[in-house]
Chain A
Amino acid sequence: MIKGLTTLGRYLSLMGQVFSKPERIKVYFKEFIREIATLGVDSIGIVVLISLFIGAVITIQIKLNIESPWMPRWTVGYVTREILVLEFSSSIMCLILAGKVGSNIASEIGTMRVTQQIDALEIMGVNSACYLILPKVLALMVFIPLLVTFGIIAGILGAYATCWFGGIMNATDLEAGLQYEFKEWYIWCSFIKSIFFAFIIASVSAYFGYTVKGGSNEVGKASTDSVVCCSVLILFADLVLTNLL
């Protein structure tokens, strides 16, 4: 309990340093753009690939397990859309990103810590926490709605692929289901949730990396711990946010 509170205190203290005034906006903006490329653009591929397959699998599973003569033909499309928009594109996608992006952030910052690059920044008078973490947090928070959008579109394309190439069901029925009682708010819910998750992924991973002590073993451990911690926090936040929204 005390250890947990100490960790929370350290995390909040680090966030206090992160959200302070940057020394030179121009340099930070350059880092922000670089992080958008590294954390965001480089993740598009995996997000699209996973969403494509998951969209297809969800459609097949629902078609096989839920559809019956008693249910309307649009049920498959409707349920697929709801799953993709409400949970998959935000929560599940962020769990996957916690593995890819989170471990990347923790190991990058952790390596900088053990090779004294962070000390070098501190000696120069740079707020190392702000310089290293703020651009990452902002970049992921800004870019994640785009990843969610890509995820939804790719998931729907995956669902269509089962009709076009697999002949699982009629594409017109799927389309009718996808459009049935569409609520725009659900897309916004997905965006809002993903922005919270992005903050968790970037800040928690950065915390684990920034507080590494020791050598390469500890960097590896920090990377693993950050993924586990981010995943648990995302699930918990998902529960809270789904209730609130």
Chain B
Amino acid sequence: MIEVKNLYKSFDSKDVLKDIDATFEDGKTNLIIGQSGSGKTVFMKCIVGLFEPDSGKLLYDGRDLLAMRKKEKKNLRKEIGMIFQNAALFDSMTTMENVMFPLQMFSKMTWREQMHRAMFCLDRVNLLDAKNKYPGEISGGMQKRVAIARAIALNPKYLFCDEPNSGLDPQTSLLIDELIHDITHEYNMTTIVNTHDMNSVMGIGEKIIYLYGGHKEWEGNKDEIFNVNNKKLNDFIFASDLFRKVKEVENQEEDEGKK
């Protein structure tokens, strides 16, 4: 479980995150949603330690990241897997080498064991056939899947995904969402996904935090999000024609039911 308490972050005296409290639970896909510029990426980068917050607490199963020594932080990082917006695979390595990299760096496995583990992870994301290809030779969706395989190679306790669906078609997005969701449950990880894709929200949003202007505007789950009486959140959700129409049909059905 990851707990965030009274988190503040500013850049050049501009407040980007204001007093955020949040709890991200084990075995659940926790979503951070919000418009572009609402502070989602900064929030995630603060949680993983890429940015240092101005104040607040970040507790990883009770261990405060901000109070940790360098060595403790390094050890914690071995428990973290992250999928970046653009996959961030190492260009000079094949997909297999990308997945093997964290194992080579931090595991005590023999080379053969590392190979087996990497093959298992690639198989888990259905990419065993592409094991000898370089990132530049595979599609964006495949790169994201390799990034997932690399992220789970060390069996992390915490998985972070920064807009994993950006730039992908709806079908591939669905595939990535399902993969993240399944892996979260399979390994009982604490997964945090940063997204503004409403399809992801409705698909895997077991816990959702809505950020607006750098503060937490709403918290709930996918079953509650459609019926919330919050103008800012409604504006965000129903900016999509599809969801607006779904809501209209739902309202019509409710009205007919009452009659």
Q: Which residues of A are interface residues toward B (Cβ below 8 A)?
A: 23-24, 26-27, 111-112, 115-117, 119-120, 122-126
Contact = CB atoms under 8 A, between A and B. Distances in A.
B77 A125 contact: yes
A120 B104 contact: no
Mostly, the B contact residues are: mixed
A124 B81 CA distance: 7
B82 A125 contact: no
9 contacts: A24-B104, A27-B104, A111-B91, A116-B88, A117-B88, A120-B90, A124-B77, A124-B78, A124-B105
B91 A117 contact: yes
B77 A123 contact: yes
B105 A27 contact: yes
Contact of B105 (A23, A112, A116, A123): A23
Given A24-B106, A123-B80, 20 more contacts: A23-B105, A23-B106, A24-B105, A27-B104, A27-B105, A111-B91, A115-B86, A115-B88, A116-B86, A119-B84, A120-B88, A122-B50, A122-B77, A123-B77, A123-B82, A123-B160, A124-B80, A125-B73, A125-B74, A125-B77
Interface in B99-156: 101-102, 104-106
A116 B85 contact: yes
B48 interface: yes
Contacts of B78: 124-125
A120 B84 contact: yes
Interface residues of B, number: 24
A117 B150 CA distance: 13
B84 A116 contact: yes
A122 B52 CA distance: 14
Mostly, the A contact residues are: helix
A115 B84 CA distance: 9
A126 B102 CA distance: 9
Contacts of B252: none
B36 interface: no
Nearest to B85: A116
B88 A119 contact: yes
A17 to B, nearest CB: 11
B2 to A, nearest CB: 15
B84 A125 contact: no
A111 B92 CA distance: 12
A114 to B, nearest CB: 10
B55 interface: no
Contacts of B90: 117, 120
B23 interface: no
A111 B106 CA distance: 25
Q: Give me the 4 closest cross-chain CB pairs, A-B, nearest first.
A: A125-B77, A116-B88, A120-B88, A123-B82
A106 B75 CA distance: 30
Nearest to A116: B88
Interface in B203-253: none
